[in-house]
């Protein structure tokens, strides 16, 4: 599945980059946003790109190069932005972009169980390669206590049937280890009321979101990454953040309010959202929101 960057022009226009700038792409993915920066500025702008997936870094590197740009690839979570940038000789930056959504490459047949549509190992980690230290969704659903599981599903998935789902998971794992995405999706579907099971969205959607956020500590990483970028940002520099669900957007909105107290100017009084045309062309963009702040 091809990954289509969301709010592409709005986010890059919003950064107001100029020649000689150093910009961080905290969520490089397939390099959609970075390639557009490369097309606009060539090698006059240095792009520092973060990704936990070594394959994505390679793919993005080729994409940025084809677009005529210059990429400094960093195989790490963007929460390490301050140390990582300084180690690569970038103690100051002119802008940072964080596209907090999960890539279409991961939503599709990734082999890591992000989607309930495919029968894949229940990993849900963005890390590649996966080591013995890497937390996986299988470890969470098979090891977490029922009340903690229910709280986590409610907190990160805003799932109203979290108690029933957690109970069903615990009962199922007593019989056999839950190790595939389809297996988990079926357990969830059987645990919720028929009206919800046959509703507009798949009943596993919110639980899968919760697991993914928990496994990758996505909200914690977002706070650390944005705060780190702010620390490195030159005066007049900007941070642009694209979010895809209410938990992320609320977090970014509150964080920007904090940064406003530290000399920030919020550029987007209301978040920018995709045009009707973009939503028609890329359904995944429909929940996206872009917020921008200047130092």
**Distance separating alpha carbons of residues 264 and 236, to the nearest angstrom:** 9
Sheet containing 289-294: order of strands: 70-75, 46-51, 22-25, 93-99, 233-243, 289-294, 265-266
Q: Using pLDDT thresholds of 50, 70 and 90, give the confidence band for residue 102.
A: confident
Confidence of residue 8 (pLDDT cuts 50, 70, 90): very high
Helical segments of 181-273, H only: 181-191, 194-197, 205-215, 218-232, 246-260
Q: Which domains does the chain have, with CATH numbers?
A: 8-105+218-294 (3.40.50.150), 128-215 (1.10.150.170)
Cα–Cα distances (Å) from 244 to 94, 169, 290, in that order, read: 25, 27, 9
Residues in Cβ contact with 211 at an 8 Å cutoff, skipping those fewer than 6 apart: 124, 137, 140, 141, 152, 153, 156, 157
Average pLDDT over residues 168-192: 98
pTM of this prediction? Answer: 0.93
């Amino acid at each position: 599945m091809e990954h289509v960057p969301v709010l592409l022009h709005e986010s890059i226009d919003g950064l107001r980059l100029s020649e000689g700038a150093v910009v961080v792409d905290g969520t490089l993915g397939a390099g959609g946003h970075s390639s557009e920066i490369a097309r606009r500025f060539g090698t006059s702008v240095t792009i520092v790109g973060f990704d936990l997936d070594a394959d994505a870094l390679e793919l993005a590197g080729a994409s940025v190069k084809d677009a005529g740009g210059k990429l400094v690839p960093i195989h790490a979570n963007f929460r390490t932005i301050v140390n990582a940038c300084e180690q690569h000789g970038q103690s100051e930056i002119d802008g940072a972009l964080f596209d907090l959504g999960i890539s279409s490459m991961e939503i599709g047949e990734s082999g890591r169980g992000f989607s309930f549509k495919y029968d894949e190992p229940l990993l849900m980690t963005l890390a590649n390669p996966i080591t013995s230290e890497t937390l996986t969704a299988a470890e969470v659903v098979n090891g977490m206590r029922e009340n903690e599981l229910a709280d986590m599903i409610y907190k990160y998935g805003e799932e109203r049937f979290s108690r029933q789902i957690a109970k069903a998971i615990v009962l199922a794992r007593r019989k056999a280890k839950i190790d595939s995405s389809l297996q988990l999706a079926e357990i969830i579907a059987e645990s919720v009321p028929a009206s919800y099971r046959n509703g507009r969205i798949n009943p596993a959607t919110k639980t899968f979101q919760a697991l993914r956020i928990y496994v990758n500590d996505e909200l914690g990483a977002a706070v650390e990454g944005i705060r780190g970028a702010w620390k490195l940002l030159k005066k007049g520099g900007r941070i642009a953040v694209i979010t895809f669900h209410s938990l992320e957007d609320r977090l970014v909105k509150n964080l920007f309010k904090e940064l406003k107290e530290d000399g920030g100017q919020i550029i987007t009084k209301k978040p920018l959202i995709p045009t009707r045309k973009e939503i028609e062309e890329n359904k995944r963009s429909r929940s996206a929101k872009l917020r921008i702040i200047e130092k």
